[in-house]
Chain A
Amino acid sequence: DAKTTQPPSMDCAEGRAANLPCNHSTISGNEYVYWYRQIHSQGPQYIIHGLKNNETNEMASLIITEDRKSSTLILPHATLRDTAVYYCIAQRYGQNFVFGPGTRLSVLP
């Protein structure tokens, strides 16, 4: 499975959009991009996933570049409750997740 690279930490002002980048330059054509987050002391929470097209749900938007080598998770209006570690995972269907260290997002008042 492709390895992903994320910045270790980011800050975002409350109410502003949080844009979390993920690099997956070795991703193959059949690997999906998944995003999870883990709020302190809780289990990881599914956010969104995609293959080629951009995706949006009630939590976030996922923008995948045309060459699929990177993606961005967008939280449109970050709140203090969005403070968490965000994990980007690239994997083939049917394979198990491999969680990296993720990005620690701090939403500041």
Chain B
Amino acid sequence: DAGVIQSPRHEVTEMGQEVTLRCKPISGHNSLFWYRQTMMRGLELLIYFNNNVPIDDSGMPEDRFSAKMPNASFSTLKIQPSEPRDSAVYFCASRAGSTDTQYFGPGTRLTVL
């Protein structure tokens, strides 16, 4: 069975450009999480969805970041406009309703020049 799928795996863009990261959770999982990892701050939760509804977005850094989950099998994290300090690895994770165990995707390494 496929795990969490993220695309692209690597993204290099210039400051000011829009960036869209994509995630496909494990089939049947009803919670989805977006994390960001940097050397300075470690692994941080940005936002999570339950049954496609955003539950907690308190970790979203600022208005430049937005996340959507239009259906149970797809989510996006968008940064507009991007800045060099957004450079990080962004992970998506999903979870089944009956457990707290989260399963992580391989991540998207974002570099903003």
Interface residues of A (CB under 8 A from B): 32, 34, 41-46, 49, 91, 93-101
A-B contact pairs, 5 of them (CB 8 A): A44-B91, A44-B102, A44-B104, A49-B101, A96-B45
> What residues of chain A lie closer than 8 Å to B105, measured between beta carbons?
43
Complex Cα–Cα for A86 and B18 (A): 34
- Total A-B Cβ pairs within 8 A: 40
Q: Please classify the interface of chain B as helix (H, G, I), strand (E, B), loop, or mixed, using the class held by over half of its residues.
A: strand
Interface size (B, Cβ < 8 Å)? Answer: 18
Partner of B42, one of A34, A49, A94, A100: A100
Complex Cα–Cα for A106 and B4 (A): 27
Partner of A97, one of B4, B56, B102: B102
Complex Cα–Cα for A101 and B44 (A): 11
A34 in contact with B107 (CB, 8 Å): no
> What residues of chain A lie closer than 8 Å to B56, measured between beta carbons?
96
Q: Measured between C-beta atoms, what is the minimum distance from B87 to chain A in Å?
A: 15
Complex Cα–Cα for A42 and B109 (A): 10
Q: Measured between C-beta atoms, what is the minimum distance from B81 to chain A in Å?
A: 27
